Amino acid sequence: MSDLVDGAFATRRRTRLFDELLDLFLAEGFSRFTLDDIASRLRCSKSTLYTLATSKDELVRRVTVHFFKRATAAVEATLAQTTDAKDRVVAYLTAVGDELAVASEQFMADLNAFAPTREVYEANTHAAAQRVRRLIEEGVAAGVFRAVNAAFAADLIATTMVRIQQREVGAATGLTDAEAYAELATLLTRGLLSGPPPG
């Protein structure tokens, strides 16, 4: 029984450390930190960090994975509260924007500059686009959305999501990530709704 308790404690401790690392990286990025810097900021030993990863690069990648797993869980929890097909697309995209809004400019710049973390975020962007595709297909099946090519819509959304996450949309429009996702949700659902266009 003690092994189970010890294992649960170790898991909670690891999760807490990943949460603390993520808070630090989201606020300040990660490129300028050494392992010594990170250990000092978290008030732990380097040996403790080595229980999480074998190098700084691997630690950064794992923290990035942790970020997207946590964000995905939060987005899906928000989505679960909505049943209407149109509202689900809006809720999903808005929730994605809200989760990304906590990231500093430095974190996003570091994320895009470092290949392992960029690959993690690109994979999550692809997964999010496929999730939206399924939501669109559900809306079409329910008669809420007009019959559209869901694959094309998903590709269009993925392209826009990448531009938002790379801060290109913000640079071009002045919108925050959350505002950009809200605009995307509005444009998408208005274009998908069945029936005559408003006006």
| CATH number of the domain enclosing 177 | 1.10.357.10
Is residue 155 one of the residues assigned to a domain?
Answer: yes
In a domain, 75, yes or no: yes
Q: Is residue 86, in this structure, part of any structural domain at all?
A: yes
Q: Evaluate whether residue 121 is within a structural domain.
A: yes
pTM value > 0.95: no
pLDDT tens sequence across 135-194: 888 888 888 877 777 778 778 888 898 888 777 898 899 988 878 888 888 887 777 776
Please tell me the predicted confidence (pLDDT) of residue 73.
96
39 assigned to some structural domain: no
Number of domains in the chain: 1
Q: Any residues with CB less than 8 A from the CB of 107 and at least 6 apart, and which? A: 25, 26, 27, 28, 29, 30
Which range of residues forms the domain containing residue 145? 55-192
